[in-house]
Amino acid sequence: MIFILLEMSLLKKIKSLSEAYSQETIELRRHLHAHPELSYQEFNTAKFVAAKLRSYGIDPQEGVATTGIVALIKGKNPDSKAVALRADMDALPIEEASQVSYKSTSPGVMHACGHDVHTSSLLGTAKILSEIKDQFEGTVKLIFQPGEEKNPGGASYMIRDGALKNPAPASIIGQHVMPLVPVGKVGFREGMYMASSDEIYLKVIGKGGHGATPELAIDPIVIASHIIIALQQIISRNASPKQPTVLTFGRIIGDGATNIIPNEVNIAGTFRALNEEWRASGLAKIQKMAEAVAEGMGGKCEVTISHGYPYLENNPELTRRIRHSAEEYVGKENVVDIDLTLGSEDFAYYSHVVPASFYRLGTRNESKGITSYVHTPTFDIDEDALKIAPGLMAWMAVNELSLSK
C-alpha cells in the first residue's frame, strides 16, 4: 500500500513538472524549428542541446558519431539498471511553406518530420528526471542522435561509437510524432512495426540519337520503361502475398527532347521489406533483372544499392509495459493501437541490439487546421502535445527502472 501511494505521488509530481515546464519545452521546440540542420550537419543543434543539458546539471558526452550526444542521469544505486531514451536531431531538405512565427530561417531546410519535437521533448524529460533523481533507482541514458533521415542512419554510427555501452541499457524507448493521431493520444504496436529501407539507383545506358531515326540508336528510355515494369513483377510474383513489401521508383531523368534520344536514363527508388531474408533475396533479384532486361534490349544497366535501415520490431513485453505506463499517464481511453507500416526508421538499429519499443505521439488537431503529414512543407504540430510528451517518457523510464534487473 505504501509503495502504491509513493508511486502515485511520483506520477503526480512528474505530471506537475511536465505541465510546469511545458512552455519552456515549447520554446525549445520553436528555437530548434527555426534553426534546422540537415543530416550529419547538426553542429549548432548539438551545441544547443549540450548547453541545455548542462543547465539542468547533466554532463553530456559530446561528439559521439560527430554530432551525437549521450548523457546519463543517475538515480539512487545507479549501477542497478539502465534504460535508454532516444531522440533524433536532423531536419529535411524541404522549403517550409507555413508562415508561423518560428518558421525555418534556413532556406530549403525544415523540421518536417518532427525531430525538433523529439529533441525538445527529451530535453524536457531530462529536466524532469534530473529533478527527481533521488526518487528512482538506476540510470537513464539519453541519446540525441544525428542523421536519422539519411543512409546509413545515425543510429548505426551511435551504436558503433558505443552509445549502447557503459552502461548497457536493459531497454531503449523511442518516440515519434504522428499527425494521423489526435493530440492527447498515444499509439503503440507490439511486434513487427516498420520496414527495412534500401535505396535503388539505376543507370540505364544506351546510345543516343535523333528521334526520327531510332534504328540508329539504342533507346534507354524504352529500356528504362521495360525495366520498371519488369521489376514490379518481383513484388507481385516473387514476394509472398503474406509478406508486405514495396518497390517504388520516384525519380526518372532522361535528358533528351522531343526529337532527341538521350545516351542514358537515371532512375531512383526505394525497396521496403519486413523480413531480412526476403530483403536480401529481393535486392539480388532487382539487380539481376534490371541488368538482364537492359542487356536483352541491347543496352546496359548499372545498379547501385544504398543499404538503409533494417526492419523495426517492437519488443512485445517492453511495449506492453510502456503502454501500461501510458495508460496510467494519459488514461486508457487515450492509448490507441497503431497499424504496421512500410515506412522506416533508423531506430530499428537499436531494436536489433537491445529490447526496444517505438511509440507514437499524437499531434493532430483538425479544429486548428493542423493536419499535414510528415515530410510536407506545411507540417506542424499542436504544441499541446509537448505538455504531455516529456512527462510521459519520464514516467515510462522510471517504471522500467523499477523492474528487477
Question: Which residues carry out catalysis?
Answer: 90, 148
Length of the chain: 405
Of 60, 182, 171, nearest in space to 123 by CA: 60
Of 399, 386, 372, 379, nearest in space to 8 by CA: 399
Question: Bridge-partner residues for 73, per DSSP?
Answer: 140
Cell numbers 507555413: residue: 98
CB 208: neighbour CB atoms within 10 A? Answer: 16
Q: How many CA atoms lie within 13 A of 337 on its CB side?
A: 4
Of 116, 124, 177, 165, nearest in space to 141 by CA: 165
Task: Identify whether the C-beta of residue 28 lies closer than 8 Å to the C-beta of residue 87.
Answer: no
Q: What are phi and psi of 44, to 5 degrees?
A: -70, -35
CB 331: neighbour CB atoms within 10 A? Answer: 11
Alpha carbon distance 128, 257 (integer Å): 61
Q: Are strands 209-210 and 300-306 parallel, antiparallel or unpaired?
A: unpaired
Task: Locate 205 and state its grid cell.
Answer: 545506358
Alpha carbon distance 381, 391 (integer Å): 18
